[in-house]
Each structure stands twice: as structure tokens, then as C-alpha cells.
Structure 1
Amino acid sequence: MPSNPNMTGAKLRGVLDGLGFEGVGSLLASGNLVFRTESTDAAALETRIQRALNAELGIAGGTIVREYAELRALVDSDPFHGLTHSRATYLVATFFKSAEIPTEISDFDDPLVRIVRIDPAARAILAVVDDSTGPTTAYMARLDKRYGKDITTRTWLTVQKIVKKLEQ
């Protein structure tokens, strides 16, 4: 949440630096952080990071970790082949914290949303949202209501930028 003064890139990076992670960097003003660590246990990392964010900055929840290989495979799969991000084709990926994600979304009847794919390996729903009539917040609110708060939605452009930043 960019409006939270404790969610500045510098403060968030400081917490991860304090945890001993390497190559800590932030991307955009929405809490996206990249880092390197020897640990491969994403759930343990989420818990460790979340505890530190809560203790040091009062940020109660929302940490979701993805490995570079997971994101690279997702980008390489080209789920939005032939589409360009625009107001009418707002390309988004919703990541689930849990390993259990829906296998289908049969009752997500919204003429402004087209589910492109559910990707179990990335624990993500990929969708195209028509943003020309209003913000995507309605779509995200529906996802929150249906699946809870342990999800996060990022534009496809942001996902691609995260992968590029991890490759630096």
C-alpha cells in the first residue's frame, strides 16, 4: 500500500537488509522487493520477513515470496501472447500465498474480466481486465472477498520488471 509511510522502498529495504539478505532492491512504490538468499523455503521466508516487517514497521500482513525460477518460467510461458497492456487490456497476475489455488473459476462472471489461465506452478491467476470504464480495484476487491487477503495482484509489466531486476 503506497500510501502507508512505512512502506517506502528505503524502509522496506532496511528491514530485509537487517535480516541479512543480499542484493536487496525495491521496485515501484507498491512493496515489491527483490533479494538473494540461500534459503529455498518460501513459506519460512514469508514468515520471517512478515515478522520483521510487523516488528519494525507495524506492517501486519501480506508477504508473498516467489523464487526467480518460478517467475522466469511464468514470463517465459507467455500467457498473454499477442496482447499488449493498455486500458482495454490490463494484463494482471494474481499470486496466492498458499500452494492451494483454485483449479477453475467457473462462476467469475464479469464482462470486463477474462481469465486467461490458472498457473498452479506459479500459484497465480492470469487475467485480462478491461480498465477503460474504471479502475481494476473492483476486480481485485472481488478476488479479496472470494479468496481472502493472502493474495496480491500485479500488472504483467510489473512482473516482467521484477524478473529483469532479479537478472541484474
Structure 2
Amino acid sequence: MTTRYAALLRGINVGGARKVPMAELRTLLEGLGLDAVRTHLQSGQAAFTSGRGDEQSLAAELARAVEEHFGFPVDVIVRDHAYLRAVAEACPFPAADLEARQLHVTYFSAPADEERFAPVDRAAYLPEEFRLGDRALYLYAPDGLGRSKLAEQLARPRLTEGLVATTRNWNTVVKLVELTAPAA
């Protein structure tokens, strides 16, 4: 049985550093035996089909291949279509009423419980808010991620210690669901 996945590469093609051309990434993934490979934007999303492995083993394989090919380490999170769809459907904020730049999802490599984020004084950042999901954090930032003080706080190493974390705006969250949808 084959499954449709998305790979989220963290911190590539930002500010001219750690360049990973998407055409090269597609070729690399196809060379690993992955099928129906597609990429989205330059910020590190690829969708593919595989009949082997699981999310963790595929993420490790892709991270090794990217480092060997491009010469620098890149954290990779792999999630299947069902998970990506569930994240979009479970959004605790009114996504349809917000601009994509106002709503973000941070995908984590493992579950992050509320206790980890207990030190964050949520009231101090209002109207910005965050909510935890399963291996995901939803962030509402009305002025966008670039101006978000809460996003800065949530990205502090002590809050994400031991986790790979990568954030995508709502348009990308929705696009990942589309890209990983099983062929009709």
C-alpha cells in the first residue's frame, strides 16, 4: 500500500543561505525511489508517494540524503495526508475569516504538551494567541508572523528543546493537504 506524504524542510532558502533548488530536490527524492514527487514554493515543501517506511524513517532518510547532496544538515518533518488534513480541520481559530498571513501552524517532530508552554504569559501577548494540537501549534498573529512578539517567544530554544519545529502559514497548510490528497 502506498501513502501520500509531505516533507517539510526547515530553514532552507531563507535570506540566500542554505540553498536547495526545488528541481534538484525533486530529482533527489525521485532518486530515493519516491514517486509522484511535487514541490511547493521555495521554502521547503515536497509531496511524494511511498510504499515503504513511516514518517520518522522517511524523515531521517530525507535528512541524510539532503545533507549528503547539498552539504549541510537540514531538519525534515514528514507527515501523511490524513495527519495534514486532521491538522487543518482541527484549527481552533476561524481560518475562513482570517488572512493567511495571520494564521500559522508549527509542526513538531513529536508531541509537545501544555506544560512545555506553561511559562508563556499568554495574556501579555493578546490579541495574539496560540493553541496546541497533536504535534502542532496553531498561532494567530493578527499583524503577521514577522511582527509577532508571541512567535518570537514560542521559538525560544527552551520551549522547543528536543523537538524539530517548522512553521507554515495557512495557505501552505491548506496546500499541503491538497498536494498530499490521494489521486481520484
* Same fold, TM-score > 0.5, yes or no: yes
Greater shift, 69-78 or 143-152, is seen at 143-152
Paired-residue identity, %: 28
> Counterpart in 2 of 1:158?
172
> Counterpart in 1 of 2:129?
114
Contact 2:59 2:78 in 1 (8 A): yes
What one-letter code is carried by the residue in structure 2 that aligns with 1:150? Answer: V
Task: Give the alignment partner of residue 35 of structure 2, picking from 22, 46, 49.
Answer: 22
> Counterpart in 1 of 2:113?
102
Q: Structure 1: give runs of 5+ residues left out of the alignment.
A: none
Matches within 5 A, 1:1-168: 1-2=12-13, 3-4=16-17, 6-81=19-94, 83-85=97-99, 90-98=102-110, 100-104=111-115, 105-109=117-121, 110-111=124-125, 113-115=128-130, 117-120=131-134, 123-131=135-143, 134-136=146-148, 139-140=151-152, 142-145=154-157, 146-148=159-161, 150-167=164-181
Per chain length, whose mean CA-contact separation is higher, i.e. which structure has more relative contact order (CA < 8 Å, sep 6+)?
Answer: 2
Q: CA deviation at 1:25?
A: 0.7
Q: CA RMSD in A?
A: 2.5
Question: Which structure 1 residue ranges, 4+ long, deviate > 4 Å from structure 2?
Answer: none
Task: Give the distance between the partners of 1:132 and 1:56, measured in 2 at CA.
Answer: 34
TM-score, normalised on structure 2? 0.76
Q: CA deviation at 1:106?
A: 2.7
Q: How many corresponding residue pairs?
A: 162
SS of residue matched to 2:76: coil
TM-score, normalised on structure 1? 0.83
Task: Give the distance between the partners of 2:137 and 2:52, measured in 1 at CA.
Answer: 26
